[in-house]
Amino acid sequence: MSAVFRHITIRLWITALAGGLMCTVLLPLWHRMMGLDGLWLPVLAVMTGCFVLCGFVMNRFGLSSIRRQITEATVWERAGMSAEAENAFEKAKAAYDGFWLSPLQRRRSADWILQRLARFCLAQSALGNAGRAIVLSYLQIHPEDEAVALGWLETALQGETRSHDDHEAADRINEAWHDHEKIQRLLMQFYLSDERSDFEAMQTYRRVWQWGNDLPRTLTRKIARLLLNETCLNDWALQVYLKGYDSGDADCLEGLAASIQWLRPNAENRHDLAEAERTIAGLDEAQRRKLIRPSEPRMPMPAGAAGEKSADLRMNEPGRQERLGLMRIGLRRISIAFYQQIRALKPQFRANRMRLWWASGRLRRIAAGIAIIGALGILSTLGWQSVGRRPEPAPASEPPAEAPRALARDPFTIQVAAYLKPEDAQLYVDRLKQKNVEAFWTKATGANRTWYQVKVSHFATRDAARTYGEKLKSQGVIDDFYVANYTP
């Protein structure tokens, strides 16, 4: 039996007993004043008043008990007695999970109690699984809490492995504190520890680098090695390669040679290109070609094979299936939104039941989403019967297939985003296509994670790709980009 149901049940019983007793005593007086037809009005007023008064008294008692236990836990915590403080917090949680608080009061008190629990957990010498779940639950709701964000990042950097929930919390903190230098430095170390090369991580590396403060040599070499693995060639990457080579990483010569070969000189990079040229001045032409080879565009497939494959793709796209495709896209978008709502609530339920009825508004939206999905399912079934035999649906656990795209001989493309889930990548691709942008996504597997990279079009030269990317960025279609190799 849930705490809210117990609370309502007890209030109704008390209202029935107390209100019934009062109505019995006052009934003769009301009968003389109003007659039999008007008795319902004072009875309703007395019952309503008893119900409200009972809720007020129960809320005051419950809040008093919780505050008393939290105050006691604070005193024990300041005295350095963690076991006693933890016991007091458990009593506060038990009081919260009891029947004393009304649904509205539970929602008001949840943030305050969860904040105190998160700060207490971070103050301990070791953050266990329960404490980690509480802190992540709090950061999902309040990533703008500077003290908790700093404490969690410092604790997370001490661990060896990090889960998907850890990376989601880090991304939320990144959105809330993109101008906070200390938090950005900790996020950079967090991303580098898992060799993340997605769009958010790259922006964090670049942001910290451009602040101008000297980074440790180990971090500089890690960033340089990551950019080399991604074949990243731009003005900022050139600065990283120069600094990485000065830090003792000889592999940065590869990035310097490639930058000299592919970057177009401008007012911002002319000095760095000259420095790179002086660095590799002692290498002969054969050595330079060997260094440049990993950054050269990959050779496209033969024209005949490309033509055959394109013809096969055209044969597998019958026009009568267009209506079914539109139905599936609509259902997939609603399903993804429903899945994201469930994931937003999951950490809160796993940490404790404290946030359950705070999320009642979301639960109502989820119920409405289920009803909409059911209605669309019935309509789509009727539509499929009119079109013809429905193709076998893909298993729910498999990610959506990568959108087919025309094969091209152009060696360059631009990457505009990267996601941990294929559903998010497909949504962004669909949004770009609505703006008449030729977009697609590809799957890239890193050291510990798999990324789904959103890319746009294909180009014959790196300059053409960069020009098109700047155009989309100036129009507000994309936030940022970098030029990458196009893989058919």
Give domain limits for the chain.
3-101, 127-295, 322-387, 412-485
3-state secondary structure at position 210: helix
CB 344 within 8 A of CB 362: yes
Predicted confidence (pLDDT) at residue 227 exceeds the cutoff of 80: yes
Beta strands 412-419 and 450-459 are antiparallel
Backbone phi, then psi, for 444, in 5-degree steps? -130, 125
Strand partners, 418: 453
To which CATH superfamily is domain 412-485 assigned? Sporulation related repeat (3.30.70.1070)
Cα distances (Å, whole numbers) of residue 142 to 81, 97, 204, 242: 28, 22, 20, 39
Task: List phi, psi (to 5°) of 459.
Answer: -140, 155
Copy the structure tokens of residue 420. Answer: 């941990």
Cα dihedral 139, 111, 84, 71, rounded to 10, equals: 140
Residue in the block written with tokens 């419950």: 62
Please state, in angstroms and rounded to a whole number, the distance separating the CA atoms of residues 202 and 448.
Answer: 17
pLDDT digits over 163-177, tens only? 888 999 999 999 999
Would you tell me the crossing angle of helices 235-246 and 252-262 to the nearest 10 degrees? 150
Q: 332, exposed or middle or buried, with CB in 10 Å at 0-12, 13-18, 19+?
A: middle
Task: Determine the pLDDT at residue 103.
Answer: 83
Q: What is the pLDDT of residue 301?
A: 41
| Side-chain half-sphere exposure of 87, counting CA atoms within 13 A | 5
- Per-residue burial over 345-366, b if 16 or more Cβ lie within 10 Å, else e, is bebbeebbebbbbbbeeeeeeb
Q: What is the pLDDT of residue 327?
A: 55
Cβ-based neighbours of 190, under 8 Å, separated by 6 or more: 153, 156, 157, 162, 170
Nearest to 197 by CA among 37, 385, 466, 418: 418
Of 138, 194, 144, the closest CA to residue 358 belongs to 138
- Taken in order 87, 89, 90, 91, is the CA torsion positive or negative? positive
- Residue 358 pLDDT > 50: no
pTM exceeds 0.85:
no
Confidence at residue 274, expressed as pLDDT on a 0 to 100 scale: 92
DSSP H/E element including 464: helix 462-474
Task: Please state the rounded mean pLDDT for residues 4-18.
Answer: 89
Is 88 within 8 Å of 73 (Cβ atoms)?
Answer: yes
pLDDT, tens only, 198-224: 888 999 999 999 887 678 888 889 999
Reported confidence tier of residue 429, pLDDT bands at 50, 70, 90: very high
Q: CA-CA-CA-CA torsion for 470, 475, 480, 482, nearest 10 degrees?
A: -30
Say what percent of the chain tops pLDDT 90. 19
Q: Per the structure block, which two tokens stand in for 476?
A: 């507000």
Q: Which of 382 and 432 is assigned the larger pLDDT?
A: 432
Counted residue by residue, the chain has a size of 488
The Cα 186–Cα 184 span in angstroms is 5
The mean per-residue pLDDT over the stretch 43-51 comes to 90
The model's pLDDT over 123-157, given as tens digits with 9 standing for 90+, comes to 887 777 878 888 898 898 889 999 999 999 999 88
Question: Tokens 């994201």 sit at which residue?
Answer: 340
Residues 6+ apart with CB under 8 A from 403: 426, 429, 440, 441
Work out the number of other CB atoms within 10 angstroms of the CB of residue 40. Answer: 11
CB 291 within 8 A of CB 258: yes
User: Residue 395 is which amino acid?
Assistant: P
388: left (phi over 0), alpha (psi -120 to 50) or beta: left
Q: What is the pLDDT of residue 231?
A: 85
Q: Is the pLDDT of residue 197 over 80?
A: yes
Q: Which amino acid is residue 84, in one-letter code? A: E
